[in-house]
Structure 1
């Protein structure tokens, strides 16, 4: 609690004091200090200070007193107490109107009441309140430390903090990822994720708004009618390892919300949660590393014995006896999105990318949980290795519903990012874990080179044949000699001869159908076809030439030019 003007006016010493302006504000105005001030005010009065005055310099000049009142109001003082009876006998009406306009309290006191007694009384009240605040602060600190030492759940700790700050409280890691996310609604989680991706959360640039070293670290974040207070949870090095967010009630400003009691709670909360995070992060990082290492070794074929794999999987909570398929997930557009969203932020690209992969992993696990499938996941560079439990027996159905679910959610949450998938064959025996990974990896490379979002290994037979042929130097030379004139011409003239041939071949040489599909006039299409023949020195009427040109274009799209 804090000392208010109402508390001050209830002192017996001030029983004859009269509130002339700002009536009804007594209970809402906090008092932090009291002093005696005469003209001039300048910068001698601070915020929430009670000012005592005899108005000695304003005896015969009401305008001077009005200016004095204006300066005291401007200094954000708690109130002005004027001793009447010697230099001033009545408060000018204009001064009262000015004070009422600013909801500022002017109180008159009898000349006989000594200022020294008033100062002593108010300072005693402030000292008593300070002692109560200190006792309250120590109690909060002890109880929070007990929660940490007793290894209480984070949910209980946050509930305790919410109770004492009288507002909702959220906890995130250093990247803005919510802790205890399972207790929030899907709508709330989606909105929070979007704010993180947009760079709204966490706010990195600290603005100095207060002389209090703790409050200097607080950041105010306004978004869509919501006012959040961000408090960093610091490591020993001074770098944030997480953030506390307080959802300030709509009726409050940050300044009115941050009373002494709440500041003490938030200070001890940040310290205590720093201990909790240090312990939990160490445990969580160890668990994640063990699980990730196991999946990576499984994919790369480093675990030779089935019994060893089963033993480790059981310890980590995996079920190897279930049927799985390996899927590789490659998020496209991360670097572009970073440059677009984060270029003005003090946030390294690696940190941001880690945060994005964390969100994608959450979406993968959410999809698995929704569809009641088991997942094993690890990260490998800029892609994720996923082992998905399968339940369907057809060639492509076993992953389609899962991929549809993830893609739909990602389009809604982060539309700037698209995912390319490579899917291997279903795993029948233990050795197939490595084989399915290799197949998924090859499918992903083929899919990315062709611009295909989903590529099943079974769909890549022709592409794999081409890749095998292109391993021979002579074959590569033939393909490049055939395709490069078209590529250079397209780059120079922007005519898309390669796309024209693909459509022409697709419609089996039907000029009318090809022209309609390309929105070209028949003569324009014929001009392009003649240009293709001239550049490649091949005839589009010759089946063997058609085959060579089609083969060359397919090889080119597989990434031969790289």
Structure 2
């Protein structure tokens, strides 16, 4: 308003009330208004009037001025000398009490000239704000494109809007802060106790600004703060927090600066995500090449690993994991449920990688890991003497936390440790993959197998290539297989459990959750169907040899 009363067209005007408000009162528009006011005057409007209709009624004129004051107008200018000869003292006192600007101008000044100059002044101011906003936008964009950090974005933003600002990521972790009270942030995030009230309708002076409908306003322990959500690629990336001293501090320039700040933050997170995605892809490809491509551990490979944060000069054990849902039946798993499991690979990857990182940090051992079509490949820092102990401890931590989060998932692990030089990572992976394949083909999921434990099965797998051996095995086991299929029983598994416990009936019954007599009945059935005696060492060996070979050959087919 100080700039308005300083215009040439108002040089003959006189401010009769509200002098102290001239420096603080904004003007956004200008209008001419006569009685009645009703709802035709908006906030921050500079009102002109002749007082027509109130000339002979001072009480009505006072009511008219009161209505203009209540409308939130910036000021009222009265053209005196025709309808209103002088502004009544009661009206001047009313304006003074209300802190309202009241101006008197001579009748000879045309309202059209006043309107023209005021609008031109407003347009000049708007253009200046537009240029300032454009300058802010350019500064923020250049900051991001030149590799600036979130703190650099906040520094620019704080300089322009002069209020505390902070940026948090989607997990509400503070990434940058400029004079924002951290206790308020901690209360908002539930870290510390406090009183929080969210206003359903934010109280701001510029409700028509585009950002208005995206604002969240909070009262935290009696202090007011605002929050804007940062989006990029239709995904929530974080929050921009700011805390003005007064609501009127949220001017158009401030709101525009915040809008540009929001865009800059979104661009930063987009760039950060792109960099992280590229880095993850490079690491995944590097680890997969180490595991699945025969290559010597040259200086070049070691250097490339170092650039990605990996030390390839220390010994690693290779762990290969596979998984399945315990809620899926075998017959239907490969169809609709398989597609469902495929869709959950990304979330599973997230949980597995998180627990690998956690276990690695807790044990203070380096890891390299990747996830490839449902297969988890992990290289764990260890040493040859106690590598099985290290691996078991590591997997215990991973599995315990994973089962708490993914109760319907079973893992099977194969572990290899290549002793020697050359293609150490490739050989370790081959050993781990072979151990996993052999175990799952015979026993299914839910356990871990070290390569050293598969020597017998590896020998048996050689025999599965001999057709006459396979034929002989099928002849021995055909009665058992047909009986199991027809009666929906599992005599083969019963026998293998019996062998595992070295013929101890009590331990076998307990492991199979069977009554002792029920187990004895099954064992007699096995002897009857195969014509082999389980108490005869040769017969028992032949039957176990046949079952092991049959399992390997069945799953190989």
Report if TM-score (shorter chain) is over 0.5. yes
1:439 to 426, 431, 436: 431
What is the rounded CA distance, in whole Å, between the counterparts of 1:159 and 1:409 in structure 2?
Answer: 41
| Equivalent residue number for residue 239 of structure 2 | 245
CA deviations on 1:471-530 (whole Å, 9 max, x unpaired) are 554346755652453355448xxxx77776666666635359836973x6x5xx635753
Post-superposition offset of 1:436: 0.8
CA deviations on 1:201-258 (whole Å, 9 max, x unpaired) are xxxxxxxxx9877777x59799xx999632223xxxxx45873422577999xx9997
Structure 2: stretches of 5+ with no match in the other structure:
5-12, 19-23, 89-97, 177-181, 190-206, 329-339
Q: Does 1:323 align with 2:318?
A: no
What is the rounded CA distance, in whole Å, between the counterparts of 1:305 and 1:516 in structure 2?
Answer: 46
| Equivalent residue number for residue 334 of structure 2 | none
Post-superposition offset of 1:437: 0.4
Distance 1:369 1:128, change over 3 A: farther
Which is greater in Rg?
2
Q: Does 1:231 align with 2:230?
A: yes
CA deviations on 1:402-429 (whole Å, 9 max, x unpaired) are 33444455566x4458573634332331
| Equivalent residue number for residue 203 of structure 2 | none
Question: Which shifted more, 537-546 or 141-150?
Answer: 537-546
Q: Does 1:510 align with 2:505?
A: yes
| Equivalent residue number for residue 167 of structure 2 | 169
Post-superposition offset of 1:169: 0.9
1:402 to 384, 394, 412: 394
Distance 1:49 1:299, change over 3 A: same
Structure 1: stretches of 5+ with no match in the other structure:
18-26, 90-104, 193-209, 234-238, 337-347
CA deviations on 1:437-491 (whole Å, 9 max, x unpaired) are 0122233343596222433323344554555555554346755652453355448
How many residues are aligned here? 474
Alignment check: 8 A CA contact 2:403 2:409 kept? yes
| Equivalent residue number for residue 456 of structure 1 | 450
Distance 1:462 1:32, change over 3 A: farther
| Equivalent residue number for residue 529 of structure 2 | 538
SS at match of 2:529: coil
Distance 1:132 1:289, change over 3 A: same
| Equivalent residue number for residue 147 of structure 1 | 143
What is the rounded CA distance, in whole Å, between the counterparts of 2:528 and 2:26 in structure 1?
Answer: 90
| Equivalent residue number for residue 289 of structure 2 | 297
Distance 1:83 1:546, change over 3 A: farther
TM-score, normalisation: structure 1: 0.57
TM-score, normalisation: structure 2: 0.58
Alignment check: 8 A CA contact 1:331 1:417 kept? no
Alignment check: 8 A CA contact 1:483 1:536 kept? no
Matches within 5 A, 1:474-493: 474=471, 475=473, 479=477, 482-483=480-481, 485-486=483-484, 489-490=487-488
Distance 1:536 1:286, change over 3 A: same
